[in-house]
């Protein structure tokens, strides 16, 4: 383990060794502090530098790779969504922009502000002031008025708490592409499974703002895009600061983003995922990193200790799911672990679609009562180590989802809830989470396991991993906890109330009890 302050202080040389071009990209290793845009005055030095830099990029000729729209096209052409490269790729993209702004705005210590939408639910003032002709940060957002607020079920404290409680990197930062067998570039945009950080606040904010922000091809033309992603990146840093390590898998760490990003002079910046794990090594930190979530950090550690039963189950599950689940229909399938013990998997196919206020329920038979499979939680007097050791997780993976064409669509997810009341709210004990969809038609859908033609699906196709653990814990002791199945209820709601543009249909639901 490495003390956080020692890590930050000593990371400049480490960053140079990992990246090679760190002196070009981040101003010779100087560490800037990314601060919350909340409360920033319009003439704040970082906000003013960002405005100058954006204006300078917009003024560059289209032949210059630093030109604003040309830089935005990097996102359209290379960004991964719905797999475990989502977080490191966008970290690299923000780092590239930060270097360009430092250069063009002549502010070597510039650090990109972040928009903490959990505490500031409305659009930051600087991005709505004036008009696009006089304010480079103002951009058309027809779906989101300056007085509108993002909802609790998208960015509230309970959402962030669930995300920060994710047990491993692939439960936190989206899961690996299905069937991945190398670190080859063809896997960069293949479908894995979105997890809550991506399918809820990330996708939800994109869809809520509308306009350019609602589609991958144009989202990064909006200057607020980069503050939105800086906050997603900050949550990753917070998760690490809680003592959680990133994936140790070579297919993740050794993956190279070659000719995706640019240096401040417009030349290519090639970097591996391994070179994108430390904010300090990339030349920035967050203003609240010494706050309540700070902890010792081991960026090079294992995803889970070998003597941790849950960690062992998660590691095995990630590697065998593709091979085991196609056979696991109609009842639980037990998967033994070399270290002893086992986890359980089940699946059910689905051909029904949900749409605005027309919910569907998908039953996954278990063949035995749920209460017999899920053990009691640790006693209240248990130590943190004992709680981690005895922790159990239940995931539902919604495979090959047909997704809505209306980006404002939100899908509320309930578990083992009886009835189909469209008025069911997030305070219901059966409520799990809410899903949004961004960039679902933009991934590489070729050679997917059971994949479908995304062009025929309207909004596209994706897979989503939902953590059912907290909701099932609330139901412990009730009649619905003693049933011999897990039932997911999907309830889409869209701003326009159009059933035709809010259609959602997972082709298959897979349950893993670990």
Euclidean distance between CA atoms 402 and 507, whole angstroms: 8
pLDDT of residue 228: 98
Q: Are 465 and 397 in contact (CB under 8 A)?
A: yes
pLDDT of residue 374: 84
Those residues whose C-beta lies under 8 Å from the C-beta of residue 447, and which sit 6 or more positions away, are 179, 190
CATH 1.10.1280.10 residue ranges of the chain are 4-286
| Residue 261 CA: distances (Å) to CA of 18, 105, 236, 268 | 16, 19, 21, 6
| Residue 4 CA: distances (Å) to CA of 213, 241, 332 | 35, 8, 43
The per-type count for the chain, helices as H runs and strands as E runs, is 16, 13
Mean pLDDT calculated for residue range 156-169 = 96
Where would I find the beta strands (DSSP E) of 287-409?
333-336, 342-349, 360-365, 394-402
Give the length of the chain: 514
Report whether pLDDT(118) > 70.
Answer: yes
Report whether pLDDT(471) > 90.
Answer: yes
pLDDT of residue 317: 86
* Superfamily, domain 4-286: Di-copper center containing domain from catechol oxidase (1.10.1280.10)
Mean pLDDT calculated for residue range 162-167 = 96
Q: Can you tell me whether residue 105 is helix, strand or coil?
A: coil
Report whether pLDDT(299) > 70.
Answer: no
Report whether pLDDT(182) > 50.
Answer: yes
pLDDT of residue 279: 96
pLDDT of residue 384: 58
**pLDDT-based confidence at 222, cuts 50/70/90?**
very high
Q: Are 96 and 108 in contact (CB under 8 A)?
A: no
pLDDT of residue 165: 94
Mean pLDDT calculated for residue range 24-52 = 82
**pLDDT-based confidence at 408, cuts 50/70/90?**
very high
pLDDT of residue 2: 32
What are the pLDDT digits (tens) for 81-117? 999 999 999 999 999 999 999 999 999 999 999 999 9
pLDDT of residue 17: 31
Q: What tokens does 262 get?
A: 């640019």
What are the pLDDT digits (tens) for 257-276? 999 999 999 999 999 999 99
Mark 267-277 as b/e (b = at least 16 C-beta within 10 Å): eebebbbbbbb
pLDDT of residue 319: 81
Sign of CA dihedral 470, 192, 196, 287: positive
Euclidean distance between CA atoms 508 and 96, whole angstroms: 39
């Amino acid at each position: 383990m490495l003390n956080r302050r020692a890590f930050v202080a000593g990371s400049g040389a480490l960053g140079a060794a990992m990246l090679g071009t760190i002196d070009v990209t981040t101003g010779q290793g100087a560490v800037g502090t990314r601060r919350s845009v909340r409360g920033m005055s319009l003439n704040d030095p970082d906000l003013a530098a960002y405005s100058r830099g954006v204006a300078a990029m917009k003024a560059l000729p289209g032949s210059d790779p630093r030109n604003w729209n040309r830089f935005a096209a990097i996102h359209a052409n290379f960004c991964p969504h719905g797999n475990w490269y989502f977080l490191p790729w966008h970290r690299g993209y923000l780092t590239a922009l930060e270097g360009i702004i430092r250069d063009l705005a002549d502010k070597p210590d510039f650090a990109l502000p972040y928009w903490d939408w959990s505490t500031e639910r409305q659009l930051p003032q600087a991005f709505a002031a004036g008009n696009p002709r006089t304010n480079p940060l103002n951009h058309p957002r027809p779906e989101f008025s300056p007085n509108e607020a993002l909802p609790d079920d998208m960015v509230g404290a309970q959402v962030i708490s669930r995300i920060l409680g994710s047990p491993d990197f692939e439960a936190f930062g989206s899961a690996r592409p299905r069937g991945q067998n190398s670190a080859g570039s063809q896997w960069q945009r293949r479908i894995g499974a979105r997890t809550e950080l991506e399918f809820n606040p990330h996708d939800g904010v994109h869809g809520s703002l509308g306009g350019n922000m609602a589609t991958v091809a144009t989202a990064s033309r909006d200057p607020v895009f980069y503050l939105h992603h800086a906050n997603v990146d900050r949550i990753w840093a917070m998760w690490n600061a809680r003592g959680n390590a990133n994936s140790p898998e070579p297919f993740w760490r050794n993956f190279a983003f070659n000719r995706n990003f640019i240096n401040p002079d417009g030349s290519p910046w090639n970097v591996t995922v391994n070179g994108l794990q430390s904010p300090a090594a990339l030349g920035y930190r967050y203003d609240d990193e010494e706050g309540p979530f700070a902890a010792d950090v081991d960026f090079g550690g294992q995803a889970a200790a070998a003597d941790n039963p849950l960690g062992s189950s998660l590691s095995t599950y990630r590697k065998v799911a593709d091979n085991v689940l196609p056979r696991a229909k109609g009842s639980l399938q037990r998967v033994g672990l070399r270290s002893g013990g086992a986890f359980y998997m089940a699946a059910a196919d689905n051909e029904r679609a949900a749409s605005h206020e027309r919910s569907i329920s998908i039953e996954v038979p278990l063949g035995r009562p749920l209460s017999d499979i899920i053990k009691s939680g640790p006693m209240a007097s248990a130590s943190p180590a004992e709680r981690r050791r005895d922790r159990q997780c239940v995931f539902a993976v919604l495979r090959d989802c047909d997704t809505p064409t209306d980006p404002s669509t939100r899908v509320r997810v309930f578990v083992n809830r009886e009835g189909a009341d469209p008025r069911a709210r997030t305070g219901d004990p059966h409520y799990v989470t809410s899903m949004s969809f961004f960039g679902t038609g933009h991934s590489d859908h070729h050679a997917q396991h059971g994949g479908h033609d995304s062009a025929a699906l309207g909004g596209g196709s994706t897979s989503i991993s939902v953590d059912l653990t907290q909701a099932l814990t609330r139901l412990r002791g009730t009649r619905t906890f003693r049933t011999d199945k897990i039932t997911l209820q999907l309830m889409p709601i869209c701003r326009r109330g159009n059933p035709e543009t809010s259609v959602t249909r997972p082709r298959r639901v897979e349950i893993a009890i670990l």
